[in-house]
């Protein structure tokens, strides 16, 4: 019987030769042809598959045989799995190379249609990856991309729903059933998100045909699919959550939200101040909202995130102070959302009254009043114990408030303290106030958009007004969605491990996406980002302007 040494030597000779030859082919052909020829692409594909195969044989299989390593032997099935992929891919490449040469000789016209060299390239005008214009690329875009993905996601959704109904119907062992249900939630969440992205990618440009938004329906959506795949896995996969812990998961997600919110909102504040000089009412309100959201995100990024990540006891002891400031930002932001919706509503329906109420000076007064009202309200409920010495034991019906918005390590989130008056504030001063203002704001935005579309204003100012309305409606609708998730989410997913999802993450996401929606719909900020030049936006006046 041939010894392992002889076998290993033969494997080494073959694999080292394949390793050198195939990777040399890959490097040289890419340099020489730039992959602009169909046959070169197929050759590089074949050489890459063979190069990976030879690499695994050289650095894994050969040492495993030579040294009889038990660890490598135990994991040899993983190596074998990758080798099978390379082997199968190589076989297919061989066939396509033969087909390529056959059609090139016998059917040159059809060959150039089929092997034209379709590309998925970056288009600087759209700031997105696009298919090239050949007919075969359009064919692939329809059937190989849209219809394939759409069919698979629809089928997957149906299968997931059937599986969930079966699991619920079986009512098997509680722990096993719960684990299976969570895995199904992961699957259906990922599938539904992909389906939503496909629909947005396909029909989004028809509703918003402006090229300025093309990157949203391509680059951003394309990237978000793969981002949220991982996020849904972390949320619903209990084994991963146990490994990284709820604290770690909260830090990862919240730090990302707060980082995006910190960058986008402070960027909006700087750019809007530079371009508008705060000479427009809508610009003043947008800057006020961005400043509030930026402050919130800054506190989350530089205080809350390190507190959770490093478990800093000093930070936790003073978390109520941070919670007090966060409540100021949250309440002020909610009211500013409503004022922005009111601003757009009056601008369209009563332009004369609008110019009287929302003059530049009076808009600044309105913004100041919002901050003063918020400070009084939040200080009354959350700040009295901190700033005023009172007798907590007295029977005064209202003043011994002592509410705190503090960090609760058990749920990895900020929570209200348990006093009855705090529950009253949570119901009326938080939920009902936010729900009422956002519902009324969303209603005003929808009515205003309907009015603007009915007027059919095709001027540049009309488009600008419509974009501002889209910004206002998107921000308000997102806040409304967050309020609904915050309220009813824990009833659907009552586990403590999901508590941080419906508090820390959603709370941070509100202030993050305010800035994102402003960047998407506000043309002045986008122009500043695109050109980087210091320009001053043109003034707007007269009865036809909504500013």
- Decide if 297 is inside a domain: yes
CA distance 88 to 93: 9
Same-domain check for residues 289 and 375: yes
Same-domain check for residues 366 and 457: yes
**Which pLDDT belongs to residue 542?**
30
Tokens, residue 225? 């699919």
> What are the tens digits of pLDDT across the range 292-309?
999 999 998 898 888 877
pLDDT > 70 in the chain, percent: 74
Mean pLDDT over the full length of the chain: 77
Query: Which among 217, 235, 253 is the end of a domain?
Result: 235
**Which pLDDT belongs to residue 518?**
81
- Decide if 360 is inside a domain: yes
Same-domain check for residues 364 and 465: yes
**Which pLDDT belongs to residue 388?**
45
CA distance 58 to 19: 8
**Which pLDDT belongs to residue 101?**
79
pLDDT band at 393 (very low <50, low <70, confident <90, very high): very low
Residue 340 has pLDDT above 70, yes or no: yes
Residue entry with tokens 């400031």? 325
Query: Which among 94, 116, 138 is the end of a domain?
Result: 116
**How many other C-beta atoms lie within 10 A of the C-beta of residue 517?**
20
Q: Is 478 helix (H, G, I), strand (E, B) or coil?
A: helix
CB 324 within 8 A of CB 382: yes
Same-domain check for residues 449 and 308: yes
Q: Is 165 helix (H, G, I), strand (E, B) or coil?
A: helix
Tokens, residue 180? 């299976």
- Which of 126-135, 254-263, 416-425, 535-544 has the lowest average pLDDT? 535-544
Tokens, residue 529? 């980002």
- Decide if 544 is inside a domain: no
Question: What letters, b where the CB count within 10 A reaches 16 and e where it falls short, cover 122-155?
Answer: eeeebbbebbeeeebbeebeeeebeeebeeebee
- Decide if 443 is inside a domain: yes
Same-domain check for residues 186 and 261: no
Q: What is the DSSP string of 398-423?
A: SS-----EEEETTTTEEEE-S-HHHH
Same-domain check for residues 341 and 417: yes
- Decide if 103 is inside a domain: yes
CA distance 237 to 285: 42
Phi, psi of 120 (to 5 degrees): -110, 90
pLDDT band at 392 (very low <50, low <70, confident <90, very high): very low
Residue entry with tokens 């297919």? 92
Q: Which of 183, 194, 191 is nearest to 235 (CA)?
A: 183
Helices and strands (H, E) in the chain, number of each type: 23, 4
Number of independent structural domains in the chain: 3
**Which pLDDT belongs to residue 386?**
44
- Decide if 362 is inside a domain: yes
> What are the tens digits of pLDDT across the range 211-236?
666 666 666 666 666 667 766 766 67
CB 265 within 8 A of CB 525: no
pTM (two decimals): 0.55
CA distance 55 to 89: 16
Same-domain check for residues 165 and 190: yes
Q: Classify the phi-psi angles of 212: left when phi > 0, otherwise alpha if psi is within -120 to 50, otherwise beta.
A: alpha
Same-domain check for residues 176 and 38: no
Residue 4 has pLDDT above 80, yes or no: no
CA distance 120 to 134: 11
Range list of β-strands (E), 124-265: 128-131
Tokens, residue 383? 């700040």
- Decide if 347 is inside a domain: yes
Residue entry with tokens 């119907």? 169
Same-domain check for residues 137 and 266: no
> What are the tens digits of pLDDT across the range 185-215?
777 777 787 778 777 777 777 777 766 666 6
Residue entry with tokens 């660890």? 71
Q: Domain span at residue 96?
A: 4-116
Same-domain check for residues 360 and 509: yes
Q: Which of 374, 384, 309 is nearest to 336 (CA)?
A: 374
**CATH code of the domain containing 297:** 1.20.1070.10
Same-domain check for residues 67 and 130: no
**How many other C-beta atoms lie within 10 A of the C-beta of residue 471?**
24
Query: Which among 186, 210, 235 is the end of a domain?
Result: 235
Phi, psi of 157 (to 5 degrees): -60, -45
- Decide if 391 is inside a domain: no
Same-domain check for residues 311 and 291: yes
């Amino acid at each position: 019987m041939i010894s392992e040494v002889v076998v290993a030597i033969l494997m080494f000779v073959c694999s080292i030769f394949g390793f050198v030859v195939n990777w040399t082919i890959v490097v040289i052909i890419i340099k020489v042809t730039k992959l602009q020829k169909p046959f070169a692409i197929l050759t590089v594909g074949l050489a890459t598959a063979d190069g990976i195969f030879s690499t695994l044989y050289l650095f894994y299989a050969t040492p495993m045989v030579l040294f009889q390593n038990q660890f490598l032997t135990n994991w040899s099935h993983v190596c074998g799995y990758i080798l099978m992929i390379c082997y199968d891919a190589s076989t297919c490449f061989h066939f396509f190379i033969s087909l390529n040469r056959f059609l090139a000789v016998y059917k040159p016209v059809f060959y150039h249609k089929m092997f034209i060299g379709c590309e998925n390239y970056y288009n600087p005008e759209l700031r997105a990856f696009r298919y090239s214009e050949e007919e075969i690329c359009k064919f692939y875009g329809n059937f190989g991309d849209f219809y394939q993905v759409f069919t698979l996601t629809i089928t997957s959704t149906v299968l997931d729903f059937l599986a969930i109904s079966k699991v619920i119907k079986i009512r098997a062992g509680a722990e096993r059933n719960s684990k299976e249900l969570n895995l199904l939630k992961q699957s259906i969440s990922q599938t539904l998100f992909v389906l939503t992205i496909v629909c947005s990618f396909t029909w989004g440009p028809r509703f918003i045909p402006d090229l300025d938004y093309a990157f949203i329906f391509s680059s951003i959506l394309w990237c978000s699919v793969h981002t949220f795949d991982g996020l849904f896995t972390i949320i619903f996969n209990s084994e991963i959550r146990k490994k990284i812990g709820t604290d770690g998961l909260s830090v990862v997600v919240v730090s990302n939200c707060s980082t995006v919110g910190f960058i986008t909102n402070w960027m909006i504040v700087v750019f809007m101040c530079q371009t508008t000089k705060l000479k427009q009412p809508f610009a003043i309100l947008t800057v006020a909202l961005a400043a509030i959201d930026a402050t919130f995100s800054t506190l989350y990024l530089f205080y809350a995130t390190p507190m959770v990540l490093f478990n800093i006891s000093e930070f936790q002891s003073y978390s109520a102070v941070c919670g007090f400031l966060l409540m100021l930002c949250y309440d002020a932001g909610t009211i500013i959302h409503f004022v922005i919706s009111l601003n757009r509503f009056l601008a369209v329906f009563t332009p004369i009254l609008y110019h009287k109420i929302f003059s530049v000076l009076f808009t600044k007064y309105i913004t100041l009043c919002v901050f003063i009202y918020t400070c009084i309200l939040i200080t009354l409920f959350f700040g009295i114990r901190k700033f005023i010495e009172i007798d907590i034991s007295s029977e005064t019906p209202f003043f011994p408030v002592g509410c705190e918005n503090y960090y609760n390590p058990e749920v990895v989130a900020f929570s209200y303290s348990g006093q009855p008056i705090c529950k009253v504030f949570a119901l009326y001063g938080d939920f009902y106030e936010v729900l009422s203002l956002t519902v009324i704001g969303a209603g005003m935005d929808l009515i205003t958009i309907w009015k603007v579309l009915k007027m059919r204003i095709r001027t540049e100012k009309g488009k600008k007004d419509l974009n501002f309305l889209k910004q206002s409606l998107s921000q308000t609708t997102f806040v409304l969605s967050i309020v609904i998730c915050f309220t009813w989410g824990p009833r659907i997913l009552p586990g403590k491990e999901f508590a941080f999802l419906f508090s820390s993450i959603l709370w941070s996401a509100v202030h993050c996406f305010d800035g994102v929606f402003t960047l998407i719909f506000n043309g002045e900020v986008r122009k500043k980002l695109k050109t980087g030049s210091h320009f001053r936006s043109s003034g707007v006046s007269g009865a036809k302007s909504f500013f």
